Amino acid sequence: MRKFLPTFAALAAALSLLLSCGKGPSVSKNADPVITEALSKVSEDSVKAYIDDLVSFHTRHTLSSQTDPEKGIGAAVQYLSDRCSQWAKAASPQRPRPKVEHIRYTVGENGGRYDRIVSVPELMVTLPGTEGDREIILMAHIDTRIIDVMDSTSFAPGADDDGSGLACLLETVRILSQIPLKQTVKCLFVSGEEQGLDGSRHFAQKAKTEGWPIQAVLSNDMIGNTRASGTLLREDHKVRVFSENIAGGEDTDSRQLARYIKEMASVYVPDQEVVLNYRSDRYRRGGDQQYFQREGFTAVRVCEYCEDYERTHQDVRTENGVDYGDLASYMDFSYLVRNIKVNLAAVMNLSEGPARPRNARIANANELDNNTILSWDPILDKDGNIDTGIKYQILCRETDKSEWMAEFPMGIDNIVDPVRSSSGKVEFSCPLSKDNYYFAVRAVSEGHPGLPAVAR
């Protein structure tokens, strides 16, 4: 166990500094050059080209043609598959070969937003990890709609909703097919979103049944628009990350993931501010992350800060001098590029970082003690020994604060070596009262932090 015995004056000074600094976690302040280099490869030209190609399928409605080679969801899925297969074939020999799989599920048995029973296509691209016992999921929806949700033949371009999310997944496959990562990254191209989140429900249930070792799910749905209709507000350096709002939910796993994405963005994409939104989704609307949350997975939605209702779900038309429709010409591609970088920074750090520590506890919760003793199970290597390459970092925050701090005041070294105590746990005694702070611990490997475990 680590001991810390400061003088009263030093402790008082330390505490006042802690209260005033309010800085975010510091472990990841030094960017990993491999990740920085990967982010620099996100290309505005590529992203534009994907979205032009996707719009050219006229509609990608879930009930649209699956046989027309040029129009409809069938042609769109084939396009996504062809692009990803081409990158998989040219993947770096340093990494396991990415795998592209066509997946189908049946909908319409229960009516709803379907006029018939139909088998619909989805796509799953797996970028296997080199060590991988965990998976990180990126998700976006293929399908589009206009005002009439049952109209499967009219022009429904879906440039932003959700061509922007698909472009994020395509860039991820293109770039990561050249980079070996420790953990597996899966890109799920889902259909049925506009008909009732059917594709993501199918994938979430499949993941649960098959026991996918999912660490995090990032659903990207509308990440390329910067204008708010009605108010004409424009925000091109802010992006929202929604994490579910449930009773007692300030420290849900999804919320830890949302904070993690924000922290990584602050290091790797400092000109894009991640705004944490402590809601499951927007008013009267939902998203594909929700079925993963419902099945018990850690899932968030990444979404533009401003929404333009003259674009989303509109028929392409001009009415009273106003142009409607979700066309690429209204998108902000440099904004979209930054949002793709936000995704990549989170995904790559999660992949290189360790697992979440297990059984994090406040060991002296029942004692009147102004020190807080934290304990957790050490992470083991594949031979069952304590992994000495992993260190731990303590995070804390006052009870009314949203984000973790790890910049502890002078003298408090909150980086903990993996030394087992007599209880078999790793322990850390922190001279801050458990009454005044929430605490969490996370594992760190070569500067890459994992997701934190809240000590309870």
Minimum distance from CB of 107 to Zn ion (Å)?
A: 17
C-alpha span between 34 and 29 (Å, rounded): 15
Q: Which is nearer to Zn ion, 123 or 181 (CB)?
A: 123
Convert 68-117 into a string of H (helix), E (strand) and C (coil). Answer: CCCCCHHHHHHHHHHHHHHHHHCCCCCCCCCEEEEEEEEECCCCCCCCCC
Minimum distance from CB of 342 to Zn ion (Å)?
A: 18
445 burial level (CB within 10 Å; 0-12, 13-18, 19+): middle
Stretch that binds Zn ion, among 55-63, 71-79, 220-228, 359-367 (CB under 5 A): 220-228
C-alpha span between 343 and 326 (Å, rounded): 23
Residue 361: strand pairing partners:
375
Stretch that binds Zn ion, among 27-35, 159-167, 241-249, 387-395 (CB under 5 A): 159-167
Stretch that binds Zn ion, among 47-55, 88-96, 169-177, 216-224 (CB under 5 A): 216-224
Q: Which is nearer to Zn ion, 219 or 372 (CB)?
A: 219
Q: Which is nearer to Zn ion, 135 or 162 (CB)?
A: 162
- In one letter, which amino acid is 367? E
Residue 156: strand pairing partners:
59
Minimum distance from CB of 312 to Zn ion (Å)?
A: 8
User: Pick from 122, 135, 143, 161: which binds Zn ion (CB under 5 A)?
Assistant: 161
Stretch that binds Zn ion, among 15-23, 156-164, 209-217, 421-429 (CB under 5 A): 156-164
Minimum distance from CB of 267 to Zn ion (Å)?
A: 29
| Total number of residues that touch Zn ion (CB under 5 A) | 3
Minimum distance from CB of 149 to Zn ion (Å)?
A: 12
Minimum distance from CB of 223 to Zn ion (Å)?
A: 10
Minimum distance from CB of 157 to Zn ion (Å)?
A: 13
Question: Which two tokens mark 375?
Answer: 């304990």
- In one letter, which amino acid is 100? V
Nearest CA to 346 among 244, 163, 218?
218
Stretch that binds Zn ion, among 39-47, 221-229, 278-286, 353-361 (CB under 5 A): 221-229
C-alpha span between 265 and 270 (Å, rounded): 6
**Window 277-306: contact mask with Zn ion (x via CB under 5 A):** ------------------------------
The enclosing H or E element of 34 equals: helix 33-40
Q: Which is nearer to Zn ion, 171 or 281 (CB)?
A: 281
221 forms part of the interface with Zn ion (CB under 5 A): yes
Minimum distance from CB of 326 to Zn ion (Å)?
A: 10
Q: Which is nearer to Zn ion, 162 or 295 (CB)?
A: 162
Residue 107: strand pairing partners:
118
φ/ψ (deg, to 5) at 81: -65, -45
SS3 366: coil
Task: Check whether the bond before 332 is cis (ω within 30° of 0).
Answer: no
C-alpha span between 52 and 329 (Å, rounded): 10
Q: Which is nearer to Zn ion, 221 or 253 (CB)?
A: 221
Minimum distance from CB of 30 to Zn ion (Å)?
A: 36
Q: Which is nearer to Zn ion, 161 or 308 (CB)?
A: 161
Stretch that binds Zn ion, among 92-100, 160-168, 274-282, 348-356 (CB under 5 A): 160-168
- In one letter, which amino acid is 28? S
Helices (H), 236-307: 253-268, 289-294
Site for Zn ion in 46-65 (CB under 5 A): none
Q: Which residue has the tokens 């790797």?
A: 268
Q: Which is nearer to Zn ion, 161 or 281 (CB)?
A: 161
Q: Which is nearer to Zn ion, 162 or 171 (CB)?
A: 162
Q: Which is nearer to Zn ion, 195 or 243 (CB)?
A: 195
C-alpha span between 286 and 200 (Å, rounded): 12
C-alpha span between 111 and 13 (Å, rounded): 66
Residues that bind Zn ion (CB under 5 A): 161-162, 221
